[in-house]
Structure 1
């Protein structure tokens, strides 16, 4: 048995807060063998009522430990407690949603007598679990993302091996252990905290039937290219979320949504507000209003109640964000707030006005507390710029005119367009996905459960 440990630190002060055992390839190889045998021997499948009972028990365990789970999210991931508590509530609801969606996971009758060739036959479909699932997750929602990947697998009856982000494995470990406590046999869900080379070997193994990935596009597309023949997948990457502000919009009323959407979790969200397009004459005023709010945000250790913006996940990310902002400023962007690091682990909430369109902050996902405001000629120019990148995820428009709202809904290249709300809005039963470079497949608990099953048809000759 491997005894090597991975130390987990608080990203604000870098103090050790726990550790988990590193999983080596020999252990993962055994996990894959166990999972494959479970799936191949159908008599070992857990009936739906047992899976429902396990998930109900997990939800109750999570409710009883909600504050402990929220503190752990803040402590290992740097998400402020106020937001970590919301994540826990969402995760509990997500487990419940897995149960509810099982009642909708059904087949249908296929009409056969539409031609003489099919006459005299009865046909219907059922849905079966797809097989062994391997899930690789991200750090920014260390409990809820695991629920979104592991919960559906357990619900539909797929054996699952989950690799959490190396920086935030404690929340995933807690959820897996609660599954065991609720009665799930360990071989149905395994935690694999492993090095990148081992993870790649696991993901691309031919025993894997479905690969779920949440993380960077570079890694996701690379792994997809190496999947074994027949392995299906879903990839969730990031975006550079655009917001269009129409001339009719009330700037003051939209301000709280833009602040929340841009600086929630210090911008470490795949659909965080990053590019705001405003008609000339209004951009400077909106940017200054945003900057005023940003200056009042409390930056600090996420485990402190007063903190509104926590640290970035590691010091290297602070250095990267700092370099991107410096490049934008050298290229002509005006800094209205922030624009500098506060410590080795924190960066000041930053508002930039009119960065160059080829600056990194304009073309790439910042994944930090940086919001950019651009002045445009008109609504068509704003839509053109919103659609100008190879990434496409969620977007938004603020307007008091229905025709403008519908124009943006029709013409913005995005999987979801929020009207009079920020780009990071989400409920867990809605489809959630990136287009083009931003992802592959559709997330959301019900959609993931559908992806982790497939149709089987019976045709009965009468």
Structure 2
């Protein structure tokens, strides 16, 4: 059999393994299938290449440029993913497992790219929060902005997800504008290498944006500086060693950790055996024990059920687990494949012996189980194992020791307070799930345990068809957890991108703040043109371009006509005495939405032109009531421009309505889609 040489990609060159290479065994046969690693890695060359080639090019792109790049990468990988499936069988997983890893990683890239286009500006600066007015007259302002770190992101990934583990970190890193050096676990790095080759062959990545290390990092962590970041996934023991290095501490190098944790699932007291919730619970717990052979950082390690339902749950879990076929994942009948390696199997068995000191094994004999398939009897297979701990309050190992395989321990609880106490004994987890339809149960468990968990997943008959599962981190939601789980967060949409950026408070005049942030701020210089802004195409409009409208007097007849026409006859508009008795109104006042309608009439240019559609308004505030006889005027200013495609872009307008005394009566952001010259 040919042994694959897994190469590193450093400073634009592929480097073959040398005398320092480590052998990699197939999880299915135990035979050596690859080798990876080098006796020496010039880490300084990789870091310098990333900082001088990759970083400047990425930072010169806008968020939308980077988002389009990430989307194109995901599309390219999706078109070539079969090669990754084929290679992944040697990791021990089934096709379903591979899809979680490969399809899940690609899907994460698509989501992050979409959020980059929708929630971030077509600019190089991300605005964090609202403008802070630091002076009474508005001449001195504050604004928080985020800009890319000017260093390198070093990604250290675990063996269980060789593709998803890389892509879920890489997508937000690239979107932030930071180059990455990827170092996967050696046991499955051959799959990661294949994925990296595809991305590089696509031609979509700037030089230096992505480098790959198969094997050890050498002294790279000792060369990092304050602008660099380490994103780690793996064991708590390894994370402690890495984040405790002197150079990491001395330079305050950012260290984001996603570590192992004793995740748990709780069956609510309302979920009796005859309910749909009971069936959902049994199904999800069994999935979490067997998917990826239990080698997931989010897998259920502890199972908490009401004391009265303990026997029923154990019986149901044993019945379902007994139906799982263990063996060669290439066979379509196989339900659970192998662990990643013989060493991982030995580690799991060692942890099982520690759990056995406090809990009775009620299912799964590691010394006597059937393995389906030919030529796989020497593979790293284990059966799903279920333990029962009769005294969870006195036990320690079941709350402290994680067997990173198809192993879980079931425990009974007396009441919800007891369940919460047991749940939190894990000292911090990535996820805890609760299967209940009782909203009071859900609320009590959330209030009592949310502080100890990065994610709380609730499911019942109402959400089961749409729910994604206890063990599925989603790119929209944060992935991480407190305490033992590492204290970090990944994903979470734009939140994950901001890990690779620096938040800076800027202070200055409105013009200075606007120039840096790329968005017009109240008090900034206004630009006046001879033509109406609605007649000007997207690329011609300037941020700060302003129209001051004529004024219009609001009459009592206007108010009554609007009330009759819309049916909004609220007393503040129709009853003088009742309105005057209200502390907010001097008497009858104009409808807020009447003012919006009049405002549109004052600033709209009615002829066909570049404005294609009004897509909504944000941040509407009514500041001061308008009474009959008052007049209103509009100031309309181009606040921000965001390109959407080659035909049109979104214009965000700052709208201010003022009365005859120049007092602000309403403000809002108007959103329109405006065409480019070629399409208008």
Q: TM-score, normalised by structure 1?
A: 0.90
Residue equivalent to 2:444: 407
Residue equivalent to 1:13: 29
Residue pair 1:36, 1:132 contacting (<8 A) in 2 also? yes
Q: Which moved more, 1:187-196 or 1:262-271?
A: 187-196
Secondary structure (helix, strand or coil) at the match of 1:127 reads strand
Residue equivalent to 1:317: 344
Residue equivalent to 2:222: 204
Residues 7 and 49 of structure 1, relative CA distance in 2, 3 Å threshold = farther
Q: Deviations over 1:401-449 (max 9, x none)?
A: 2111111111123222222376313322211111112112211162221
Residue pair 1:39, 1:132 contacting (<8 A) in 2 also? no
Please list, as runs of the form range in 1=range in 2, the aligned pairs for 1:329-340 lying within 5 A after superposition.
329=356, 331=358, 333-340=360-367
2:497 matches 1:449:
yes
Q: Deviations over 1:266-317 (max 9, x none)?
A: 1111121121112223212211210111121111133333222111122123
Q: Which has the higher helix share?
A: 1
2:472 matches 1:425:
yes
Offset of residue 348 of structure 1: 0.9
- 1:82 corresponds, among 83, 96, 114, to 96
Q: Deviations over 1:351-393 (max 9, x none)?
A: 1122664363442111111121112222222221111232322
Q: Which sections of structure 1, spanning at least 5 residues, go unmatched?
A: none
Residue equivalent to 1:254: 281
Q: Which has the higher strand share?
A: 2
Count of residue pairs brought into register by the alignment = 456
- 2:382 corresponds, among 338, 344, 347, to 347
Residue pair 1:356, 1:362 contacting (<8 A) in 2 also? no
Offset of residue 50 of structure 1: 4.6
- 1:67 corresponds, among 74, 82, 86, to 82
Q: Which moved more, 1:334-343 or 1:78-87?
A: 334-343
Secondary structure (helix, strand or coil) at the match of 1:244 reads strand
Q: Deviations over 1:108-127 (max 9, x none)?
A: 575354424x8424554443
Residue equivalent to 1:360: 397
Offset of residue 257 of structure 1: 1.3
Residue equivalent to 1:238: 260
Residue equivalent to 1:140: 160
Secondary structure (helix, strand or coil) at the match of 1:432 reads strand
2:247 matches 1:220:
no
For residues 43 and 178 of structure 1, the distance between their equivalents in structure 2, rounded to whole angstroms, comes to 20
Offset of residue 211 of structure 1: 0.8
Secondary structure (helix, strand or coil) at the match of 1:290 reads helix
For residues 246 and 445 of structure 1, the distance between their equivalents in structure 2, rounded to whole angstroms, comes to 28
Secondary structure (helix, strand or coil) at the match of 2:166 reads helix
Q: CA RMSD for the aligned pairs?
A: 2.7
Offset of residue 218 of structure 1: 1.0
Residues 305 and 21 of structure 1, relative CA distance in 2, 3 Å threshold = farther
Q: Deviations over 1:219-251 (max 9, x none)?
A: 112211221413112100011112222231033
Residue pair 2:185, 2:215 contacting (<8 A) in 1 also? no
Residue equivalent to 1:386: 423
Q: Deviations over 1:20-69 (max 9, x none)?
A: 4537332x220111122247757974454553443233222212122222
Residues 355 and 18 of structure 1, relative CA distance in 2, 3 Å threshold = farther
For residues 87 and 281 of structure 1, the distance between their equivalents in structure 2, rounded to whole angstroms, comes to 38
- 1:174 corresponds, among 194, 198, 201, to 194
Residue pair 2:59, 2:178 contacting (<8 A) in 1 also? no
For residues 20 and 311 of structure 1, the distance between their equivalents in structure 2, rounded to whole angstroms, comes to 21
For residues 123 and 233 of structure 1, the distance between their equivalents in structure 2, rounded to whole angstroms, comes to 29
- 2:407 corresponds, among 351, 355, 370, to 370
Q: TM-score, normalised by structure 2?
A: 0.62
Residues 205 and 280 of structure 1, relative CA distance in 2, 3 Å threshold = same
For residues 332 and 110 of structure 1, the distance between their equivalents in structure 2, rounded to whole angstroms, comes to 54
Offset of residue 2 of structure 1: 6.2
Residues 38 and 47 of structure 1, relative CA distance in 2, 3 Å threshold = farther
For residues 232 and 299 of structure 2, the distance between their equivalents in structure 1, rounded to whole angstroms, comes to 19
Residue equivalent to 2:106: 92
Residue pair 1:133, 1:160 contacting (<8 A) in 2 also? yes
Offset of residue 337 of structure 1: 3.5
Offset of residue 137 of structure 1: 0.3
Offset of residue 102 of structure 1: 2.1
- 2:40 corresponds, among 15, 24, 29, to 24
Residues 460 and 299 of structure 1, relative CA distance in 2, 3 Å threshold = same
Secondary structure (helix, strand or coil) at the match of 1:437 reads helix
Secondary structure (helix, strand or coil) at the match of 1:135 reads strand
Residues 120 and 261 of structure 1, relative CA distance in 2, 3 Å threshold = same
